[in-house]
Amino acid sequence: MNEHSSSIVLVAGLGNPGREYENTRHNIGFMVIDKVLEKLNGASVSENGCNSIFYKLKYKGKSVIFAKPQTFMNLSGNAVAALMNREKLDKSNLLVVHDELDLPLGRMRIRKGGSSGGHNGINSIIEMLGNQQDFLRMRIGIGRDRNVVDYVLGEFKEEEKGLLNEMIDCAADAVIELLKAPASVVMNRCNALDLSESTKNNE
């Protein structure tokens, strides 16, 4: 793999399974996966295994897996590690998409490595990969509230849904770009993006 291409072949969007969780803030990783599949016209083909619902697509000449772990957030690492072991993948092949309390809705950050930042899903993945932290992550801002548990398991407010849809669309485009371009190139653009500011400026 040369420096001008991407090694990402597994994209895992984090969330909780079940209809009662599907519109909650903690499930924004699932929402991004669904939007990527919609853009790539691949949402109709799904498989079950390794504690995940996943989709295998051909993109730019390589096979890519888009996974939604079904273990509940705190055990996301069980599903991700199982898929990586089955497909004989390295941490350099992994992109994880998840919610981020420390960013407002309308912001995202792409980075490699670092701590879990208190995110239970990321913490589980780090533990299951043997404390290998330097896999690629896309953190999608959801904002923060004093009661964290109720907040992340709550649904987005009606007035947030327009910005939410715009953010999911941008994040999906970024995922697709990360499948073909070096992460550094995508980071430069996406980490500076602030849809929350553009929304305020247009009001």
Q: Indicate which residues carry an active-site annotation.
A: 26
Range 112-116 contact pairs with CB under 8 angstroms and sequence separation of 24 or more: 112/136, 112/137, 112/183
In the chain the first and final C-alpha atoms are separated, in Å, by 45
Q: How far is CA 112 from CA 100, 135, 184, in A?
A: 15, 5, 10
CA distance 104 to 37: 25
Phi, psi (degrees; rounded to nearest 5) at 200: -60, -40
**Cα–Cα–Cα angle for 173, 178, 183, nearest 5°?**
130
24 closest CA partner among 166, 169, 154: 154
Q: How far is CA 40 from CA 94, 143, 179, 189, in A?
A: 19, 29, 12, 21
